[in-house]
Amino acid sequence: MVHFSDSLSRLLAELQKLPGVGEKTALRLAFHLLKSPDNAAALADSLRDVMSRVRFCSVCFGITEDDPCRFCSEARDDGAICVVEEPQDLLAVERTRAFRGRYHVLQGALSPLNGVTPDRLRVAELMKRLEGGGVREVVIATNFSVEGEATALYLARMIKPLGVRVTRLAHGIPLGSDLEFVDAATVQRALEGRSEL
């Protein structure tokens, strides 16, 4: 491998820590930044800026500049809480404009083999919010992965005894899909969840 200067090697190493960025992409990004010093400076500044301003909301544990965050402070339905794994999942739900309740970000999903037990997630904080009363439904919107499903089942078992309704996003065929290309397990779930026309 060609030897790079120390500072460039360090930048390449840092870039390769980003998701989806390997050696070639890191090189491409680095050379792009070297060619546009203004962009590189602006990127460095804005990274520092974000890291100094953005924090976790003390109520829902989403990300925010103001604590509590917009979703926790604006007028919304206090009777429903949508539970997601990560802040970006919160945005995915919010984008639909179909949910007007509050949110709770677990900051991960249960994965005992990787050391992610309930105490590593924001589960205790969620239970505390529910114990305060006034919540009639918890919509669990964790991912439909093994970890996300396990987390959903775990939460349902924790929450139901409180007399709160626990719901889960529907499984089914994605909009615009060609049935023949949808995996069998999804079609099966869609069948099980079929509704009257």
The answer to whether 162 contacts a second copy (rule: CB under 8 A) is no
Binding residue (CB under 8 A) for a second copy from 63, 116, 153, 173:
63
Rounded Cα distance, 6 and 11, in Å: 9
The answer to whether 34 contacts a second copy (rule: CB under 8 A) is yes
Nearer to a second copy, 114 or 188 (CB): 114
C-beta atoms surrounding 99 within 10 Å = 16
At 15, give phi and psi (nearest 5°).
-65, -35
Residue from 167, 148, 136, 174 nearest 84 by CA: 148
Cβ 66 to a second copy, closest distance in Å? 8
At 24, give phi and psi (nearest 5°).
-70, -45
C-beta atoms surrounding 62 within 10 Å = 24
Nearer to a second copy, 16 or 153 (CB): 16
Cβ 41 to a second copy, closest distance in Å? 6
Three-class secondary structure assignment of 127-182 = HHHHHCCCCCEEEECCCCCHHHHHHHHHHHHHHHHHCCEEEECCCCCCCCCCHHHC
Rounded Cα distance, 28 and 16, in Å: 11
The residue with tokens 């626990």 is 166
Rounded Cα distance, 134 and 32, in Å: 53
The answer to whether 42 contacts a second copy (rule: CB under 8 A) is yes
Binding residue (CB under 8 A) for a second copy from 22, 23, 26, 49:
49
The answer to whether 194 contacts a second copy (rule: CB under 8 A) is no
The answer to whether 67 contacts a second copy (rule: CB under 8 A) is no
Cβ 30 to a second copy, closest distance in Å? 7
Cβ 38 to a second copy, closest distance in Å? 10
By CB under 8 A, the residues from 74 to 133 that bind a second copy are: 86-88, 91, 94-95
The answer to whether 43 contacts a second copy (rule: CB under 8 A) is yes
The answer to whether 174 contacts a second copy (rule: CB under 8 A) is no
Contact residues toward a second copy (CB under 8 A) are 1-3, 5-8, 10-11, 13-15, 17-20, 25, 27-34, 36-37, 39-51, 53-54, 63-66, 70, 86-88, 91, 94-95
